[in-house]
């Protein structure tokens, strides 16, 4: 005789605690807000938050109490820099970088794929300033940003191929020629231009970012649950096709480039200075 009980779904109280070192979560009336952070301040990128995010998408998507998701970051920048632990989880063998499958290929793949395939609810990216890995905000159904936000992919200019998702998103949203220029040059796209070119839907002042994100989420919540979820799947389908066709190829090229370069360290200081120009 088989079991007559359903396996329990993730509980907000549990995964809110589980991910709190990297993501502050709050939920109100079905709207879940995720705010990335490092020690309560702006995000310092490393393999741990990389790993946390790809797991968080899965649990958030598997909790039927979540109806709309808002993703944002802390302070005045999106992801500001890496920290001294950026290479933890990797090994150097005989003078060569060894990037383990789980920390390199798997987590890098699921950071993007789990957001698109597992979070079956409307999503809103709220970009609070310049920074890296804005692809996870641009892959949200709606993306808004502050006037100080800037978008770029500096991978090529700092020594390895742009294959972790940002470049692919640029190709889709900017077009092939425009994306190629910004991937080769690493130049910034400011908020006004990002709006004019269709990277973002709205540009708001810094103090109004989250209020506007909540307004949009509450507007979406006025529709029925089935309407919200089925519409999100219609809007997500082009991204799913793109990821299936191209993303793992892009990522494999980047990881090969990282191995040959021998390091994933970034010249964040030089890139941050470009935000101030």
What backbone torsions phi and psi does residue 89 show, to the nearest 5 degrees?
95, -10
Cα–Cα distance between 15 and 168 in angstroms, integer?
30
Whether 121 and 64 have beta carbons less than 8 Å apart is answered as no
Cα–Cα distance between 273 and 277 in angstroms, integer?
7
Q: Name the residue with tokens 């040059």.
A: 185
- Which among 135, 215, 259, 269 is annotated as catalytic? 135
pTM of structure: 0.92
Give me 31's structure tokens.
Answer: 């709207």
Beta strands 23-28 and 202-204 are: unpaired
* Domain range annotation of the chain: 12-275
Q: Name the residue with tokens 């359903």.
A: 6
Whether 72 and 213 have beta carbons less than 8 Å apart is answered as yes
Q: Which one of 2.60.40.10, 3.90.226.10, 3.40.50.2300, 3.30.70.270 gives the CATH number of domain 12-275?
A: 3.90.226.10
Whether 108 and 247 have beta carbons less than 8 Å apart is answered as no
pLDDT tens digits, one per residue of 236-249: 999 999 999 999 99
Give me 108's structure tokens.
Answer: 């890098």
Q: What is the pLDDT tens value at each position of the chain, 277 positions in all?
A: 566 789 999 999 999 999 999 999 999 999 999 999 999 999 998 889 999 999 999 999 999 999 999 999 999 999 987 755 545 555 555 555 667 788 888 999 999 999 999 999 999 999 999 998 999 999 999 999 999 999 999 999 888 899 999 999 999 999 999 999 999 999 999 999 999 999 999 999 989 999 999 999 999 999 999 999 999 999 999 999 999 999 999 999 998 887 777 665 555 566 666 655 5
Task: Indicate if 67 belongs to the active site.
Answer: no
């Amino acid at each position: 005789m088989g079991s007559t009980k359903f396996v329990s779904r993730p509980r907000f109280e549990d995964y809110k605690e589980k991910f709190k070192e990297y993501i502050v979560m709050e939920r109100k009336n079905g709207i879940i807000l995720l705010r990335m952070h490092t020690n309560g301040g702006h995000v310092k990128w490393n393999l741990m938050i990389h790993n946390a995010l790809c797991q968080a998408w899965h649990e958030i998507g598997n909790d039927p109490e979540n109806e709309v998701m808002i993703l944002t970051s802390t302070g005045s920048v999106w992801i500001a820099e890496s920290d001294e632990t950026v290479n933890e989880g990797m090994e150097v063998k005989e003078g060569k970088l060894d990037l383990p499958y789980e920390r390199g290929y798997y987590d890098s793949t699921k950071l993007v794929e789990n957001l698109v395939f597992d979070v079956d609810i409307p999503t809103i990216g709220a970009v609070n300033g310049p920074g890296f890995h804005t692809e996870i905000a641009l892959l949200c159904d709606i993306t808004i940003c502050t006037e100080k936000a800037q978008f770029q992919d500096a991978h090529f200019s700092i020594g390895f191929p742009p294959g972790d998702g940002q470049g692919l998103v640029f190709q889709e949203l900017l077009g092939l020629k425009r994306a190629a220029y910004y991937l080769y040059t690493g130049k910034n796209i400011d908020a006004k231009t990002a709006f004019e070119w269709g990277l973002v839907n709205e540009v708001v002042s810094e103090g109004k970012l989250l209020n506007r994100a909540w307004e949009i989420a509450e507007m979406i919540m006025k529709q029925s649950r089935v309407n919200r979820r089925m519409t999100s799947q219609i809007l997500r389908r082009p991204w799913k096709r793109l990821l299936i066709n191209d993303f793992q190829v892009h990522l494999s090229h980047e990881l090969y480039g990282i191995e040959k370069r021998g390091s994933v360290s970034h010249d964040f200081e030089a890139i941050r200075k470009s935000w101030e120009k």
